[in-house]
Amino acid sequence: MGNRFLISFSYEGTNFHGYQKQGKLRTVQKEIEIVLKKINNNQTITIYAVSRTDKKVHALNQFAHFDLKINIKPDKLKRAMNTYLPEDIYIKTVKIVPADFYARYRAKKKEYEYIIETGEYDLFQRNYIYYFPHKLNIYQIKKALKQLKGEHDFTSFVSAEETRENKIRTIYKASVKKKKTLIYFNFQGNGFLKYQIRNMIGTLLMVGLGKKKPEDIKVILENKDRRSANKTANPEGLYLKNIWFD
């Protein structure tokens, strides 16, 4: 009876204390599980997501799997979930997967985007873009990004709160582009650690300001010391953009 489902969903992270459940705090996982419990004849459901985004971080394509005891078709489940979920979460796709499918372990590549506004402050974008009104040298930032590509120990760019001992990750793509006053950073890798992208952004901005050299990135990585890098960039500009499975 029942099936294992894989869902893709988006959420606007402004009013969440991150994705993962944290006691009585409002989180994305908690809101979805409340709805699934209602659909599943009041039986508790645990969902298992691929990524654990932080407070105020947004997601365009997050994925999670879970088991339901009831028999329900994917399209009907999607409609039911979106009917009960709050407006800042939306279920995009629902499909049945094999009983041994585990979303987190089947994910092979993740993509994040970070958006910065260097021009005039826009009140209505304050929850979606990091406001940083400074002239940045994009050429120098591009040189620095090359140092981050490949397999590295990212200890210097990881929060002290990170519980995973293995800090080695591979970044396949690290790019930046400018459109008028907006700066877009894009990172694709096999996984990212707590605050890793925001910490890298904080240091890359110092490179763009001329306060650090692109070559300093290599030294920072080798130091394996969080104090070697710069402060953590704000969460508002960060988006979980996509996830690829094997």
Catalytic residues: 54
Give the end-to-end CA distance of the chain in Å, rounded to a whole number: 27
128: region left, alpha or beta (phi > 0 left; psi from -120 to 50 alpha): alpha
Residue the block writes with tokens 């009917």: 83
How far is the C-alpha of 201 from the C-alpha of 179, rounded, in Å? 18
Listed as own residue / partner, the contacts of 22-31 with beta carbons closer than 8 Å and 24 or more positions apart are: 28/53, 28/59, 28/62, 28/89, 31/85, 31/86, 31/89
Of 33, 58, 61, 62, give the one whose Cα is nearest residue 47. 33
Task: Write the burial class of residue 94 (CB in 10 Å: 0-12 exposed, 13-18 middle, 19+ buried).
Answer: buried
Helix/strand/coil percentages in the chain, nearest 5: 30, 30, 40
